[in-house]
Amino acid sequence: MMRNSLAHTDLNCLLHPQTDPAALVAQGPLILESGDGVFVTDSSGRSYLEGMSSLWCASLGFNEPRLARAAADQISRLGTYHTFNRRSNPAVIELAERLLALSPMPDGKALFANSGSEAVDTMIKLAWLYHSGRGAPERRKIISRRRAYHGSTVLGATLSGLPSMRGAFAWPDPGVIFAEAPHFYTCAEAGESEEAFVDRLVAEVAALIAAEGAGSIAAMIAEPVMGAGGVIIPPSGYFPKLAELLREKGILLLSDEVICGFGRTGEWFGCQTFGFRPDMMSVAKALSSGYQPIGATLLTAEIHDVVSAEASRLGVLGHGFTYAGHPVTSAVALETLKIYEEMDLLAQVRARAPAFLDHINALAGHPLVGEARAVGLIGAVELVADRATRRPFASEAGIGARLVTLALDQGLIVRNLGDAIAICPPLIVTTAELELLFNRLRQALDALALETAASQVE
Ligand code: PMP
């Protein structure tokens, strides 16, 4: 098929997720054909530094040969099988063992899925099963947070604190309660210290619990760093205090580690960076470096004991996906974890993180940047109309989206979450590549500053 006819066929045949259909018709699709390390090349031969690891997942870049071999080897042995009715396979067994050993719940269990959304849905089901096993089936409500992202299934949309995700899709009156996002820059009151901000947020959660009745609430779900909500990094103290409150009230704490898992924040998991012990965790994305669709729910031994006894009482764990524990996806994820350990992933992230932070902080002085934030190798710059008052741009101005287009012109892929520009490069990024990434980002920001000054965008 000819290249421009590929674009034509795309427009004729595909409905794209998280895309404005009218903008797609106007601009056409960006067709990526190949990758090399942290770079990808489009169908016209243009190369881009991929500053978002695809969707926060390609930690090993875009063409790791060991992952290609792992998939091919497994397909030539056993190309597919399920894990219902006691069935298992060597790849998923070895993967579960390695994954648990890395995790903060080494005595726990792993239940596999095909995506982050499915891992989150599973985690909520297991929270309900747990409470039912403890004789409290009326504990059904879930606490989520404004700006949260927990996936794209109906339950994911219902847990989401993002208007674009909820819109037509959130289940009506679902029993989801929303707490404030821990974003000091946008949510703190005038003159409030970080510590007072944390105390206020935790007191608000306590008040929500009191209003709803603790005995009606199953769990609180939280991303350690909120990803799609704008790369929101919580102040220290937030999670430890929240965890203490929830434990007192018998409410489970579920850590959605779909973005933070596997070294992104400088520890294996975000809950370790932010100092709390969850009852369950959802993981996906970097578990296979994004090369295969896989997710997993990890549960502590204590939760497992209760849910397995309850499932036996009911006759079966009435849950499962055809491809959960798939031998090929498991083999690729297993090889990914082996590579992480062999390359000493955490040491690599920690070695690059100070330069990453310096580059981000250097952008904090830019006239369009209100806040620059980072932890490990994930960060964002928040574009504002007025730095002194922190006044945002009008959302109709589409400033964040414009910056993304200008960055593409510079050969850089980043993503706008409203007017927060997210940066989440592959974890194999070198110091020189980080320098290139931030040079290109600065050029895009300078171009945007000229445009906004010329048109006096507010
Ligand atoms: N949870 C979080 C925190 C996520 O960031 C995402 C995806 N960006 C999901 C869940 C859903 O994962 P998936 O798209 O693999 O279903």
pTM: 0.97
As a whole number, the mean pLDDT across the chain is: 97
Give mean pLDDT, residues 345-373: 97
- Residue 258, ligand 1, Cβ within 6 A: yes
pLDDT at 173 over 90: no
Measured from the Cα of 257, ligand 1's closest atom is: 3
Distance 52 CA to ligand 1 centre (A): 14
Percent over 90 (pLDDT), the chain? 97
**The ligand 1 atom nearest the CA atom of 55:** 8
Residue 455 has pLDDT above 90, yes or no: no
Strand partners, 110: 298
Task: For a ligand 1 pocket test, name from 258, 283, 415 the mutation site with the most ligand atoms within 8 angstroms of its C-beta.
Answer: 258
Whether the CB-CB separation of 291 and 115 falls below 8 Å is answered with no
Q: Is 2's pLDDT higher than 70?
A: no
SS (H, E, C) the chain: CCHHHHHHHHHHHCCCCCCCHHHHHHHCCCCEEEEECCEEEECCCCEEEECCHHHHCCCCCCCCHHHHHHHHHHHHHCCCCCCCCCCCCHHHHHHHHHHHHHCCCCCCEEEEECCHHHHHHHHHHHHHHHHHHCCCCCCCEEEEECCCCCCCCHHHHHHCCCHHHHCCCCCCCCCEEEECCCCHHHHCCCCCCHHHHHHHHHHHHHHHHHHHCHHHEEEEEECCCECCCCCECCCCCHHHHHHHHHHHCCCEEEEECCCCCCCCCCCCCHHHHCCCCCCEEEECHHHHCCCCCCEEEEECHHHHHHHHHHHHHHCCCCCCCCCCCCHHHHHHHHHHHHHHHHCCHHHHHHHHHHHHHHHHHHHCCCCCEEEEEEECCEEEEEECCECCCCECCCHHHCHHHHHHHHHHHCCEECEEECCEEEECCCCCCCHHHHHHHHHHHHHHHHHHHHHHHHHCCC
Q: Is 149 in the pocket of ligand 1 (CB under 6 A)?
A: yes
CA 373–ligand 1 middle distance (angstroms)? 21
Query: Is the distance from the beta carbon of residue 261 to the nearest atom of ligand 1 less than 6 Å?
Result: no
Nearest ligand 1 atom to alpha carbon 228? 5
Q: What is the ipTM of this complex?
A: 0.99
For residue 458, pLDDT beyond 80: no
Residue nearest to atom 6 of ligand 1 (CA): 151
pLDDT of residue 3: 57
* Position 4 pLDDT exceeds 80: no
**Options 3.40.50.720, 3.90.1150.10, 3.30.930.10, 1.10.150.240; which CATH number does 31-63+344-455 get?**
3.90.1150.10
Question: Is the pLDDT at 1 greater than 60, yes or no?
Answer: no
Residue range 208-232: mean pLDDT, rounded:
98
Query: Which of ligand 1's atoms lies nearest the C-alpha of 284?
Result: 15
Give the confidence band of 453 by pLDDT, cuts at 50, 70, 90: confident
Cα 289 to averaged position of ligand 1 atoms, centre (Å): 14
- For residue 148, the ligand 1 atom closest to its alpha carbon is 3
227 lines ligand 1 (CB under 6 A): yes
Query: pLDDT tens digits for 388-434?
Result: 999 999 999 999 999 999 999 999 999 999 999 999 999 999 999 99
Establish whether residue 284 lines the binding site of ligand 1, counting it when its CB lies within 6 angstroms of any ligand atom: yes
Ligand 1 center–CA 55 separation, angstroms:
9
- Decide if domain 67-342 falls under CATH 3.40.640.10: yes
Per residue in 158-170, pLDDT (tens digit) is: 999 999 999 899 9
As a whole number of angstroms, the distance between CA 406 and CA 413 comes to: 10
Atom of ligand 1 nearest to the CA of 223: 3
> Ligand 1, atom 9: nearest CA belongs to which residue?
151
Residue nearest to ligand 1 atom 13, measured at CA: 116
Token pair, residue 7, equals 């674009």
Distance (Å) from CA 294 to ligand 1 centroid: 11
In order of 408, 409, 423, 442, the CA distances from 405 in angstroms are 5, 6, 15, 13
Mutate which of 54, 55, 118, 120 for ligand 1? The one with the most ligand atoms within 8 Å of its CB, which is 120
- Domain coordinates of the chain in residue numbers? 31-63+344-455, 67-342
Closest CA to 13 of 23, 24, 2: 24
Quick one: average pLDDT of 333-347?
Answer: 98
